[in-house]
Structure 1
Amino acid sequence: AAGDGPPPAAEVRVFPPVPLDGWPKELAKLQVSGTDLDDPEPPPAPDLTGPVLWLSPQVEMSAGKAMAQAGHGAQLAWWELDDAARTAWRAAGFPLAVRTASAERWDELTTSGLPVVRDAGFTEIAPGSCTVVADHPALRRP
C-alpha cells in the first residue's frame, strides 16, 4: 500500500567553499536548475531522535539554493559536535532529515542556540537572512 516502507532517501555530498576558479571538476560541470517541483503530499514528520535541518518558512528559495543552505547547515552541525557525537553520527551513516519549519517553530529554533545558517546575500536572498537551523540531538539544550 502507498506509504508503506521507509520514506524515499537522497544523498548529499558537500564540498568546502572555494573560489569559482578553483572548483573541482566534479562541481564545475554541475548545475541545479529546473528542480522546483511541488510535493504531491506533505513529507512525514521527522524523527526527532536524529538530526533535522529546518528550512525557513519565511525565505523563498529555489531548490538549488535550499540544497546549498542545507549543506551549510550540515557542516555547521558537524563543526559544533564533540568527537563522540561525530563518531556516532558517522557510524550511523550520517542520517538526517530536511523539513520546512512552521512559523511558530522557526521562531523557537532561531533563538534556541542551535547553529543557524545566515546567507551572505550574493545570490537569491537578502544578506543576513536566516535560512536553516541545524538541529542535532547532541546540540540541544536541556
Structure 2
Amino acid sequence: MRVPDDPRDEPPWAMQLVVRAEKAAPPAHSAVCAAAATAVVSLLTDPRAADPEGEWYPYVRRWESGRIRKVTRRARGVRWPEVQELPGVTVDVDGAEVRAFVPGPVDQVPPALAKLQVAGLDLPDEEPKPPPEPPYAAIALNPRVPMTTGKAAAQSGHAAQLLLRQARPADVMPWIEAGLRVHISRDISWRRCVGQATVAVRDAGFTEVPPGTMTAIAWIVR
C-alpha cells in the first residue's frame, strides 16, 4: 500500500481494532476498553511505528496528520487467528484480547478485516477491578453517554493516544517503561475525573453520539 505524498484529496484513514469475542466466553466491557487502549499505545510505541526508519512509521504519521479515526470490529472462531497474520499488535488485559492494526485508508481495508462485523458489539461488564500499581493511565468513560462496547473501546483508544502524545514527557516515559498499563476508572465520580484529566476526547459524531460529545478522559497516575 502506497502512502500518499499529499493526503488532502485522499480517502480518510483509520486504525482498525479487532476484539476477540467468543460466544462461549465473551470478555467484559471494561476489560475490552482497557485492552483496546493498551493495544493502540502499544502499536504507537512499537519501534516499527515510532522510529522514523520503522516500516509502520509512514502509515502512522499519515494517519495522525488527520482525524485519529478508529473502527472496532469483532472476531470469533477461525476469524481471530486469521487476522493475526496482518501487521499489528495484540494485547490481553484481564482476559480481553484486542489487536490494533497499522492504519490505512478506509476504502482499502484488507479482506480478512473487511469481513468482520463492525456494529453490534455490546458486552456485559463485571465488578470494577482495583487499579494496577502506578504508573498507569486512568481512563474514564462518560457515564451520561450510552455507548456500545465497540464505541467505548474506540473512545478508550482515542484517550490513550491523546495521553501518549499530549501528556508531559515526565509522566509519559515512566508509563511506557512500566508497560503501558491502563485502568478504566469507574469508582470515582465523573465530575472529579474531569477535574483531574489531562486529555479529553470529543467525538466527531460519525456513530452513536452527537458531534462534540465528550466521551472519554484520561490522565496518568504516578
Structure-2-length-normalised TM-score: 0.48
Consecutive unaligned residues in structure 1, runs of 5 or more: 1-6
Q: What is the CA deviation profile of residues 56-93 of structure 1, one whole-angstrom value per residue up to 9, with x for unaligned ones?
A: 10000011000100000110110123445433222222
Residue 73 (1) aligns with residue 124 (2): no
1:45, CA displacement in angstroms? 3.6
The counterpart of 1:130, out of the listed 186, 211, 214, is 214
Residue 93 (1) aligns with residue 179 (2): yes
The whole-number CA distance in structure 2 between the counterparts of 1:58 and 1:20 is 30
Do the aligned partners of 2:167 and 2:198 also contact (CA within 8 Å) in 1?
Answer: no
Question: 2:107 is paired with a residue of what secondary structure?
Answer: helix
Please name the residue that 1:117 is paired with: 201
Do the aligned partners of 2:171 and 2:220 also contact (CA within 8 Å) in 1?
Answer: no
Residue 37 (1) aligns with residue 123 (2): yes
Do the aligned partners of 2:197 and 2:217 also contact (CA within 8 Å) in 1?
Answer: no
Change (3 A) 1:60 1:110: same
Letter in 1 for 2:178: A
Structure-1-length-normalised TM-score: 0.71
1:13, CA displacement in angstroms? 4.3
Do the aligned partners of 2:137 and 2:219 also contact (CA within 8 Å) in 1?
Answer: yes
Identity across matched positions, percent: 41
1:55, CA displacement in angstroms? 0.7
Change (3 A) 1:15 1:118: farther
Please name the residue that 1:4 is paired with: none
- Looking at secondary structure, tell me which structure has more strand per residue: 2
Q: What are the within-5 Å matches in structure 2 for residues 52-67 of structure 1?
A: 52-67=138-153
User: What is the number of equivalent residue pairs in this alignment?
Assistant: 129
1:114, CA displacement in angstroms? 1.7
The whole-number CA distance in structure 2 between the counterparts of 1:26 and 1:94 is 28
Do the aligned partners of 1:89 and 1:95 also contact (CA within 8 Å) in 2?
Answer: yes
- Greater displacement, 129-138 / 66-75: 129-138
1:38, CA displacement in angstroms? 2.3
Letter in 2 for 1:51: A
